[in-house]
Amino acid sequence: MSRAARLLDLIQNLRNRRGPVAGSDLASELGISLRTLYRDIATLQAQGADIRGEPGLGYVLRPGFTPPPLMFSPEELEALVLGSRWVAARADDPRLGQAAQQALSKIGAVLPEDMRQGIDVATLLVTSRRTVPSGVDPGVIRDAIRREHKLHITYVAEGGDCSDRVIWPICIAYFDSTRVVTAWCELRQAYRHFRIDRIETLEPLEQRYPRRRVVMLKEWRAEQGLSQL
């Protein structure tokens, strides 16, 4: 394990604690000697980490510290690269795909050289399978979700029936070949799922929907029998 990764693990370990933890316990969990632990704690304190305590009494990290520069473990970096590449290749949303590439570039700019190379040679790849194209901009839906605003849509059901709906979008689900927006439908007075490729027209409304999205998400998950993660 590199020293940078070890320092990150130490910070994460302290963050996960609600009270002081003995130095011997920290050293054992990290697989290092007490001497190395004391040296690493001193390094983090010099970088601005508000770590309270001393040998024999235990240590506690006060909130608000992010170690400079931004650090990730190898597994965390692989997860970020894989997720960003999936979005860029499979999201069927040009703006979101471009944002994923820009995020990777920004992450790479602040990583040490050895970890920066991990972005370019990551061994987890994403296949560029085609999704069903949509005629509307998914970015408009994402913006409405963030702002908690209503949308007016024209929707074509599987059987070909077309209807006008006013919906309260709360999330978008990304499947292999389709994208589905979950929303409260004013016409049906219930939660419904709308395939984005079947939305013919899309108009953002200036009206906020009257309930908080976080509450609606919790309600929808309970209705679907999904976990509250």
Percentage of the chain lying above the pLDDT 90 cut: 38
Torsion, Cα 196 201 204 209, to 10 degrees, reads -60
- From 10-14, 107-111, 156-160, 209-213, the region with the lowest mean pLDDT: 107-111
| pLDDT tens figures, 48-73 | 888 888 667 789 988 766 555 556 66
DSSP-assigned letter for residue 148: T
Domains and CATH numbers, the chain: 3-61 (1.10.10.10), 74-120 (no CATH), 138-224 (2.30.30)
Maximum Cα–Cα distance for the chain, whole Å? 73
Residue 98 half-sphere exposure toward CB, CA atoms < 13 A? 4
Residue 78 half-sphere exposure toward CB, CA atoms < 13 A? 8
Higher pLDDT, 31 or 16: 31
Report angle CA 138, 128, 155 to the nearest 5 degrees.
30
- From 12-21, 87-96, 205-214, the region with the lowest mean pLDDT: 87-96
Q: Check if the beta carbon of residue 164 is closer than 8 Å to that of residue 117.
A: no
